[in-house]
């Protein structure tokens, strides 16, 4: 199966766990997009009533085009379930997220549930966070220099994320901040690094999701769906 077919298999599996009447946080990225498509299909074919809470403009636009009813993030404080992708997943279900620059709003939505389901192709599994991915940061623009200096003291090399074609200059998040990527060596204590980053004023979000995911669904070429 192709990478995309693996992502789809994980997305479909998670969407099939959604029950009638639920209010569900809907993540961002290519894997989450497959989950959203399957949810729309289930609403249509099974007639289930599900309300979504989106984590980005990307997912909001997809939900609107598919007719999935949405509530604003600011209207809710508890969600029955949240389903999202990830960039790295360790054996303790700790994550690096943020490739899509959506991690701040995704973390807010993830904080509203005790049923946080992560979906991914098995290539996202790592033994130690930081093996492949930098840690995305969401930074108040005026703090970029002071944050860069302080993250360097923690062992991270910070690079401001520049826009793809279609936007000259830096990526701006849905909340209007800069995104930067902090490259660390493999992270021995991700919980401590998360706390250290949270103490640097000007960092409003980071992509370390520690002790948040309650279930991981990995789609693997050889082993099929792996859940832990």
36 sits near ligand DER (criterion: CB under 6 A): no
130 sits near ligand DER (criterion: CB under 6 A): no
11 sits near ligand DER (criterion: CB under 6 A): no
Span interacting with ligand DER, options 60-68, 97-105, 172-180, 196-204, rule CB under 6 A: 97-105
Residue 176: which region, alpha, beta or left (left: phi > 0; alpha: psi -120 to 50)?
Answer: left
Is 184 strand, coil or helix? Answer: coil
Number of residues in contact with ligand DER under rule CB under 6 A = 17
Look up 106 and say whether it is catalytic: yes
DSSP bridge pairs for 216? 118
Asked whether 211 and 139 are in contact (CB, 8 A), the reply is no
Q: Dihedrals φ, ψ of 60, to 5°?
A: -60, -45
Q: Which residue in 213, 184, 194 sits closest to 91, CA to CA?
A: 213
Question: By C-beta, is 94 or 150 nearer to ligand DER?
Answer: 94
102 sits near ligand DER (criterion: CB under 6 A): yes
Does residue 100 have a known ligand-binding role? yes
DSSP string over 185-204 = SS-S-HHHHHHHHHTSTTEE
User: Which residue is catalytic, options 46, 75, 88, 106?
Assistant: 106
Out of 40, 104, 106, 161, the residue judged to bind ligand DER by CB under 6 A: 106
The least distance separating ligand DER from the CB of residue 65, rounded to whole angstroms, comes to: 18
> Residue 95 class from Cβ within 10 Å (0-12 exposed, 13-18 middle, 19+ buried)?
buried
Asked whether 159 and 183 are in contact (CB, 8 A), the reply is yes
103 sits near ligand DER (criterion: CB under 6 A): yes
Does residue 101 have a known ligand-binding role? no
Does residue 142 have a known ligand-binding role? no
Instruction: Tell me the binding residues for substrate.
Output: 28-31, 84-87, 97-100, 124
Point out the residues that are catalytic.
106
Interacting residue ranges for ligand DER, rule: CB under 6 A: 27-32, 84-87, 97-100, 102-103, 106
């Amino acid at each position: 199966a192709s990478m995309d077919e693996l992502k789809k298999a994980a997305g479909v599996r998670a969407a099939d766990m959604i029950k009638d009447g639920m209010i569900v946080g809907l993540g961002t990225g290519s894997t989450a997009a497959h989950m959203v498509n399957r949810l729309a299909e289930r609403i249509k074919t099974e007639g289930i009533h599900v309300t979504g809470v989106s984590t980005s403009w990307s997912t909001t636009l997809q939900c609107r085009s598919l007719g999935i009813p949405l509530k604003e993030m600011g209207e809710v404080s508890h969600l029955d379930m949240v389903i999202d992708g990830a960039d790295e997943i360790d054996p303790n279900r700790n994550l690096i997220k943020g490739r899509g620059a959506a991690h701040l709003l995704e973390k807010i939505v993830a904080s509203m549930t005790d049923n946080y389901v992560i979906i991914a192709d098995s290539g996202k599994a790592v033994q130690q966070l930081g093996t492949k991915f930098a840690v995305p940061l969401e930074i108040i623009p005026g703090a970029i220099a002071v944050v860069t200096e302080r993250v360097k003291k923690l062992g991270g090399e910070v690079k401001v994320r520049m826009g793809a074609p279609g936007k000259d200059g830096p990526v701006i998040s849905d909340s209007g901040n800069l995104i930067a990527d902090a490259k660390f060596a493999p992270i021995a204590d991700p919980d401590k690094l998360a706390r250290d980053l949270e103490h640097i004023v000007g960092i409003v979000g980071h992509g370390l999701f520690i002790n948040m995911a309650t279930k991981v669904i990995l789609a693997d070429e050889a082993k099929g769906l792996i859940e832990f």
